[in-house]
Amino acid sequence: MYQSIDQERTGLKLKMMLRRAGYDVKYVQNYLGLSCPQPIYRWFKGKILPSVEHLCALSRLLHVHMEELLVLTGHTEDKIDWERLDDSARKRLAAYINYVQRIAHTAGYGRLAQ
């Protein structure tokens, strides 16, 4: 039996990844060619999932595999509760993660799990 996708945690992950990469909702709306931002807010709230086409576009925008945008039910890959951190702590932690990933990439380890 396969695991289902956790819509709520996937929405939070998308929100965190886009924010960490410096993209706001308006930019994502324009990038995806959406006429209004409501679908993006619905993703963030876990009400709906992005379409396969939108997941593909978001993966290109964020330079990650489509799978990395999704959180499976019962999966505990995200140990940091980004929503509980204040903006300053989020920025420091995101900068540190990016720094470590650059070092890993330079050293030939490729992309580390997030």
pLDDT per residue over 28-78, tens digit each? 999 999 999 999 999 999 999 999 999 999 999 999 999 899 988 876 655
**What residue numbers bound the domain in which 112 lies?**
80-114
Structural domain tally of the chain?
2
DSSP for residue 113: P
Nearest CA-CA partner of 25 in 7, 41, 10: 41
Q: What is the pTM of this model?
A: 0.65
Give yes or no: residues 9 and 62 share one domain: yes
User: pLDDT per residue over 2-17, tens digit each?
Assistant: 678 999 999 999 999 9
Asked if 44 and 99 sit in the same domain, the reply is: no
50, two tokens: 């992005």
Phi, psi of 102 (to 5 degrees): -65, -45
CATH of the domain at 3: 1.10.260.40
